[in-house]
Amino acid sequence: MSRIGFKPITIPEGVTVDIKDNMITVKGKLGELTQEIKGGIEFEIENGVIHVKRPSESKKHKAFHGLYRSLLFNMIEGVSKGWTKELELVGVGYKASSQGQILDLSLGFSHNIMIELPKEVKVETVSEKGKNPIVKLTSYDKQLIGHIAAKIRSFRKPEPYKGKGVRYVGEEIRRKAGKTA
């Protein structure tokens, strides 16, 4: 049984947490995030530490307990430090370039893929000779950056024979042997 919901969350300097009715608002130097709370979960703030309380021991309340604690923790980390995801383009001729909030991907199709990213996500592309291009996404919203990274990866998932495709930096791809002579 997981006990993540019982862990206290410390609020770093420069971050304010406001709880009104069923909404949590977290403000920090990088941005502002809000989250709606369901299921009767309560939050207590004292001396810069947040404790998450559940009303009963039912399965539903236990699930919401851990969920909202994790969401709140990710919101606080995001507005204070930020989140980063890096994607690696593995394949001959695969390229990436960015101009402002538009990401241009060349992934071996007959046309380039152009993605317009939300203003909350900052994009940076790194192309060094002899190395695979890397797309670096930075944001204060962990859910949004994860969604964008998954969307980019879905355009050309890594295949198991040669490992070509878009993958997260450090991701292990299970490789297959292929045909044997």
Q: What is the maximum span of the chain, computed from C-alpha positions, in angstroms? A: 69
CA dist 156 and 105 (Å) reads 10
Task: Kindly state whether residues 95 and 141 are assigned to the same domain.
Answer: yes
Q: Estimate the share of the chain in helix, then strand, then coil, as percent rounded to the nearest 5.
A: 20, 35, 45
Residues 93 and 159 in one domain: yes
Any domain includes 176: no
DSSP state of 158: P
Return phi, psi of residue 120, to 5°.
-75, -20
- 135 falls within a domain: yes
Domain end call among 18, 51, 80: 80
Confidence (pLDDT) at 179: 84
- Name the residue range of residue 21's domain: 4-80
Same-domain check for residues 73 and 119: no
76 and 91 together in one domain: no
Q: Do 106 and 150 belong to one domain?
A: yes
Q: Taking the model in full, what pTM does it have?
A: 0.89
148 in the same domain as 112: yes
Within a domain: 175? no
Number of other CB atoms surrounding residue 87 within 10 Å: 23
Q: Return per-residue pLDDT of the chain as tens, 181 residues.
A: 568 889 999 999 999 999 998 899 999 999 999 999 988 889 999 999 999 998 898 889 988 999 999 999 999 999 999 999 999 999 999 999 999 999 999 999 999 999 999 999 999 999 999 999 999 999 999 999 999 999 999 999 999 999 999 999 999 999 998 887 5
47 and 8, same domain (yes or no)? yes
In a domain, 178, yes or no: no
User: Which pLDDT score, from 0 to 100, does residue 178 have?
Assistant: 85
Final residue of a domain: which of 56, 80, 104?
Answer: 80
